[in-house]
Amino acid sequence: MSERLFTDDHEWALADGDTVTVGITNYAQEQLGELVYVELPSVGTTVHQGDEAAVIESVKAAGDVKSPVSGTISAVNDTLNDAPEKVNEDPMATGWFYKVAMSDPQELDNLLSEDDYNNLIATLE
């Protein structure tokens, strides 16, 4: 199984071959509070590393989910359209947002390991 990687914007990425599943971290969903709306990208959309790919709104704030890698959106978690709270319930698994068919797997090298991400959030708490 692949190692989960992270961005400093609190997204996670889990590669399976050339496909990367993307979501937000537990820390991010805790900071946002209860999610009330999710706008997912369309399948077939091209994204670049760091681009805004999805929109999230919570009772506290609105924000963007940025793509940790470049590529083409290959799947979205349609469950979130009617049940955005799934992100709060299980952000690291069933609360995933979308999948990207990577165009440049070397971009994974730009992401943080779990240890590095945990060190980052420790400085924020």
Q: Which domains does the chain have, with CATH numbers?
A: 4-104 (2.40.50.100)
What pLDDT digit, counting tens, does each position of 25-35 carry?
A: 999 999 999 99
Predicted local distance difference test score (pLDDT) of residue 125: 72
Predicted local distance difference test score (pLDDT) of residue 2: 62
User: What does pLDDT average to over the chain?
Assistant: 95
pLDDT classification of 1: cutoffs 50, 70, 90 = very low
What pLDDT digit, counting tens, does each position of 52-83 carry?
A: 999 999 998 899 999 999 999 999 999 999 99
Q: What pTM value is reported for the model?
A: 0.95
Q: How far apart are CA 32 and CA 27, in angstroms?
A: 9
Q: How far apart are CA 39 and CA 18, in angstroms?
A: 24
